[in-house]
Chain A
Amino acid sequence: MFVVDVEGKKLLIVMTTGPEDPEKTYAPFYTAALSAAMEIDTSMYFLMHAPKLLKKGSAEQVKLKKGGTLKQFIDMALEGGVKFYACEESLRSLCEIDPADVIEGVKIVGSSTLADLALEADSVLSF
């Protein structure tokens, strides 16, 4: 048993991997859910191919070798209070997704928000 003082700490997880590499997708959500459970103010920022994971119906199609799909990990993070931000430019231009087709709970923001979140965070993890 050990406890690190995490009061008031902020963690940002930057996600660039999309459904093209399923085995690299779930650990960031797992880490985010756990971090939120530890009472760390946790955010995830999705850019490049990662917003594809947030399209309605997409996570259900990402099958994991360990069994199940990515959806359970996304739900776990959202239910745990992790904040999701998707880069609008990546979403529209690279992923060709209409913001209306994104799952609930995701805030669609500009690239400048990534800088804000990174500078506010105590630590940034990138996947």
Chain B
Amino acid sequence: MTFINGCELPDDLFYFVEGNQMSWVKFEGNEAVIGLTDPAQTRAGKIVVIRVKEVGTTRPKGKPLATIESGKWAGAVLSPLTGTVIKVNEQLTSNPELINNDPYGQGWIVRLSVANQEEKAALLSGEKAMEKYRELIAKDNIRCMRCKQ
């Protein structure tokens, strides 16, 4: 685990960083689990509503997978990969704060069946990812003070 300004960034994940997007990707065979990173949820603030594309929806890379609303932010979670939604985290409907409290665990958002494994190469990992996050966290002056429930 790497810590940058208090923000947790697991070393074993892939990261999608594009525009204001800061999501994580965990590959499990031909499937990918996707969620928001600690700095992303910190920047958004307390999440009050999330709407996720329904199971069976195919999304090209860069198109919205979900929309998120907090008191200070409203926007899309863009798909880091082309794929089809095979599972959504139903718990988030009644408890969207799971994204804030446990972004890499219970706060996962969606599971995709990956259509094109070659797109994995465009995601960041390891030291390259951490370098990019150091830059983004400094630019937006993000300081994570996440509390576990």
Nearest Cβ on chain B to A101's Cβ, whole angstroms: 26
- Please provide the chain A residues from 13 to 39 with a CB less than 8 Å away from any CB of chain B in the complex: 30-31, 33-34, 36-39
Residue A99 CB within 8 A of the other chain: no
A1 x B90 contact (CB < 8 A): yes
B51 x A3 contact (CB < 8 A): yes
A38 x B72 contact (CB < 8 A): no
Nearest Cβ on chain B to A100's Cβ, whole angstroms: 28
Q: Is the interface of B mostly helix, strand, loop or mixed?
A: mixed
A1 x B69 contact (CB < 8 A): no
A39 to B59, CA, bound (A): 12
Residue B71 CB within 8 A of the other chain: yes
- Please provide the chain B residues from 33 to 57 with a CB less than 8 Å away from any CB of chain A in the complex: 51-54, 57
Instruction: Select which of A1, A3, A39, A76 is within 8 A of B74 by beta carbon.
Output: A76
Residue A60 CB within 8 A of the other chain: no
Among B20, B54, B74, B93, chain A packs the most CB atoms within 10 A around the CB of B74
A34 x B69 contact (CB < 8 A): yes
A2 to B64, CA, bound (A): 14
- Interface residue tally for chain A (C-beta within 8 Å): 18
Q: Which residues of A contact B63 (CB under 8 A)?
A: 39
Instruction: Select which of A31, A36, A38, A79 is within 8 A of B20 by beta carbon.
Output: A79
Residue B105 CB within 8 A of the other chain: no
B69's nearest neighbour on chain A, judged by CB, is A34
Q: Which residues of A contact B19 (CB under 8 A)?
A: 79
Q: Which residues of B contact A67 (CB under 8 A)?
A: 72
A38 x B67 contact (CB < 8 A): yes
A80 to B77, CA, bound (A): 11
Q: Which residues of B contact A30 (CB under 8 A)?
A: 74
- Please provide the chain A residues from 64 to 83 with a CB less than 8 Å away from any CB of chain B in the complex: 66-68, 72, 76, 79-80
Q: Which residues of B contact A36 (CB under 8 A)?
A: 76
- Please provide the chain A residues from 43 to 64 with a CB less than 8 Å away from any CB of chain B in the complex: none
Residue B88 CB within 8 A of the other chain: yes
Which residues of B come within 8 Å of A, CB atoms? 19-20, 51-54, 57, 63-64, 67-69, 71-76, 88, 90, 92-93
